[in-house]
Structure 1
Amino acid sequence: MNQKIDRRNLLKSGLMAIGGMTLAPHLSMGAFGSQPMSLDPENRIFRSPMVREHYLPGDFKAPKIVARLSSNENPYGPPASAQKAVVDSVKFGNRYAGRDMFELIEKIAKKEGVTADHLMVAPGSSDLLEKVAIVLFMNGGNIVSADPCYMSMIRVAESVGAKWKAIPCTTDWSHDLKAMEAAVDKDTKLVYVCNPNNPTGAITKGQDLLDFCSRVSEKVPVFVDEAYIELAVGADTQSMVSLLSQKKNVIVARTFSKIMGMAGLRFGYMVALPSFLKDINKITRGGFSICSTTVAAATASMEDDGFQEMTRKQNHQAKLYLYENLSKMGYKYIPSYTNFVLFPISIQGKELLSKMMAKGISVRSFDIQNKPWCRVSIGTMDEMKTFVGALETMSA
């Protein structure tokens, strides 16, 4: 889908919204989750100059949810192997992870083709994004990223004093790498790339991104969030970890929350130059905050190739089913390389949320350039059929 992006109106709408902010109940999670979110004059969450989000108070507490399609979770996990590992490890819950953690780090290092001193682990990759933001921006500076993008790092960076340079995506919703590179100046301390991107699901081509990271990392660190890369079936992409062998200042984050099905067990890692990690280690004890049961589950999940392949296959099949039915109903979705799909809708976002929630279905709704969109996570085939059936009643 090609969507025309009006940069002049985008800037204007962003400035107007900032001028009319009020406070709302907080919906964010992470290092600054206790802070209230900001609402624009229309009571939408201000995500970025381009994006506002609708919400229903108490979404996560709503009764009788039959299809939870709002959080991009893996509906099949954790794998049976990880569940067994958790049960078996509980009896050692009186001990720190210790040796098991070091062995897991070594396995990840081998997988990524780096030495262990290039790795930092944490309870989820968002934790790492936030720690990097705290360290890099506690004395100000600016961060460059696409808009829309995943907001965890951006929000924390702003909270400690950063200025955000939001660069609108291109007409196919990939990163505008040329504009992002041009936005880097003497005050830029980090460039953030989420690929595949959230909330759009779009991909930026691997070689283009590799060339961009190679050049730009000579000036400032480039953080590449690869949370969804293992679900990118048929994508022209690749991991940026290979640049570390060239001593490029690139940071790559990965998570076990998606392909591994461990969103609630919390495990993630980032790969970077040891010199970069040295500064982050000044404010964290790395994997010390990860419980031994999670280490056991992560080890088992990592070795469970069958579960990962099943997740990829089932996710792709359910997504193709959704594509087919969205097309039948006249919706023009953004092709997604993740476990969610973003598409424009014909009713207002809050109305969509209310009607879906009444049927026990949770989704997300954004206004992008003041037009309503729905982001639906890919669940099981039965859950997608439930969602499609509900959407059909609203499209009739």
Structure 2
Amino acid sequence: MSSVSRRQWLRTTSLGLGASVALPGLLPASEMSRVLGGGVSYATMLDQMERDVTAARRAAGPIRLHFNENPFGMSPKAKDALMGSWAQHTWYMPPIREEIRETFAKYVGVPADHVLVTQGSSEVLSILALAYNMHGGEIVAPWPTFEDLPRWGETLGATVHKVPLDHRMDHDLYQMEQKINGNTKLVFVCNPNNPTSNLADDQALREFVTNSARRSTVIVDEAYFDFVNVPGHKSMVDLVLKGQPIIVSRTASKLHGLAGLRCGFAVARPDIIAKLQQYVTGDPNVFGLVAGKASLLDTEYQAFVKAKNAEGRTMLMDALKTLGKNVAPSQTNFVFFQAGRPVEQMQKYFLSKGFVIGRAFPPYTDWCRVSIGTPDEMKQFVAALPGAFA
């Protein structure tokens, strides 16, 4: 940028102070230079970032606790990498496309030919609907769950069997298995599940996925895998390496804070990856790929976000239990609890307190989904909780 520093450039463009108030994930990337120059430790910088982000989010208006977003945005190292990527965005087939594929493959422990990089993990699901259901077919899915695959399947004429969750709000694996037949093209599993936040029993789910893969292709959505803190819990990626027709979807939208930059991944056998590649709907943008690669390598930032999320999650769950509320055992960056009154009523109350919470998820229309904000935001939210039930 010739003689103009990144900080000066940020201040005089749409990524300057005005944008930082509305979008705390794009606070000045050049702050990393202070760390690289030995001014402060990275841990100290992250602590300061937490304070800056909390202030910026409050100044931007009602605090967003409804879309399961990372309140801290992308890592400072990802921001610096993004700001240094001004050449590749002019190219078709930029090198970063292969670089992030290889980086993510190492991150999850598979060969690079087992990975497809996509425009967020939602594109993985749209590609699957196209690849497996263009001429009819059936999909088996728990319900409620993340809605994109069932919705796209129905749009393309598939029969979607939405199997109600069991009394614990877990996947009803027995009933799902009963719906699988010779015309089933896809079996969908979301673990941890959205919107209920809970983690399935590992052994039971593995047996179900393995058995189902003998009859159909299975897609395991692990968008919230990074927030699980149950000892011994493993990704289903190891089943992919055994050669089973299993596809694991992952995202950079949650832990890595890149929801607006659209970066996701599919992990599957190379022949399945090749099949999916035929149905991609476009190319992931360079900025998302550059930031995604840097974030995958920034393990200190990942640990920071996980710790802050666990702190806020525990704070909210403890407060709800103290109030006598039924709370799902969350292993995500959101909490699902039974308010005992319509979600719309809860939304109105919390908006008056400066918070936006999630919508209704039928049939759980008196349950609320609340995303985890910064610890300071969660203290404010918890303080406002009792008034919601007065």
Equivalent residue, structure 2, for 1:309: 303
Three-state SS of the structure 1 residue aligned to 2:368 is: strand
Shift >4 Å, 4+ stretches: none
Gaps of 5+ in 1: 1-62
Give the residue type in structure 2 aligned to 1:319.
R
Of residues 375-384 and 323-332 in structure 1, the stretch that sits farther from structure 2 once superposed is 323-332
| Cα deviation 1:80-109 (Å, max 9, x = unaligned) | 000111111124422235222212211222
Residues 62 and 351, structure 2, Cα contact 8 Å, conserved in 1? no
Do the aligned residues in 1 keep the contact of 2:107 with 2:296 (CA within 8 Å)?
no
User: 1:361: how far off?
Assistant: 1.1
SS at match of 1:89: coil
What is the aligned counterpart of 2:293 among 295, 299, 306?
299
1:206–1:236 contact (8 Å) kept in structure 2: no
Quote the offset at 1:115 in angstroms. 2.2
Residue of 369, 375, 384 corresponding to 2:378: 384
Rate the CA distance shift 1:101–1:352 in 2: closer, same or farther, 3 A.
Answer: same
Change (3 A) 1:263 1:313: same
1:96 aligns with 2:96: no
Q: CA separation in 2, counterparts of 1:210 and 1:349?
A: 34
Q: Any conservation in 2 of the 1:64–1:360 contact (CA below 8 Å)? A: no
1:351 aligned counterpart, secondary structure: helix
Partner residue of 2:331? 337
1:7 aligned residue = none
Quick one: which amino acid aligns to residue 106 of structure 2? K
- Of structures 1 and 2, the one with the larger relative CO (CA 8 A, separation 6+) is 1
Q: Which amino acid aligns with 1:174?
A: D
**More displaced, 203-212 or 298-307?**
203-212
d(CA) in 1 for partners of 2:208, 2:146: 20
Structure 1 vs Structure 2 CA RMSD: 1.8
Distance 1:239 1:226 in 2: 8
1:271 corresponds, among 267, 272, 275, to: 267
**Distance (Å, rounded) in 2 between the aligned partners of 1:292 and 1:366:** 35
Matched, 1:65 2:37: no
Instruction: State the TM-score, normalized to the length of structure 2.
Output: 0.81
Deviations 1:159-197 (A, max 9, x none): 000111111222222212222112101111100000000
Distance in 2, Cα, partners of 1:316 & 1:120 = 30
Residues in 2 aligned to 1:262 and 1:274: alpha-carbon distance in whole angstroms: 26
1:298 deviates by: 0.8
Query: Contact 1:203 / 1:235 at 8 angstroms: preserved in 2?
Result: no
Unaligned runs of 5+ in 2: 1-58
Question: What corresponds to 2:51 in structure 1?
Answer: none
Please name the residue that 2:161 is paired with: 165
Secondary structure of 2:377 counterpart: helix
Per-residue deviation at 1:367? Answer: 5.5
Letter in 1 for 2:132: L
- SS of 1:318's partner is helix
Cα deviation per residue 1:101-129 (whole Å; 9 max; x = unaligned)? 21221122223332222211111000111
- Give the alignment partner of residue 393 of structure 1, picking from 368, 387, 390: 387
Alignment-derived partner of residue 188 in structure 2:
192
Aligned to 1:21: none
Cα gap change, 1:367 to 1:308, in 2 (>3 Å): closer
Q: Does 1:152 find its partner at 2:148?
A: yes
Aligned in 2, Cα 1:91/1:247: closer, same or farther, shift over 3 Å?
Answer: closer
Q: Higher helix share goes to which structure? A: 2
TM-score (norm 1): 0.80
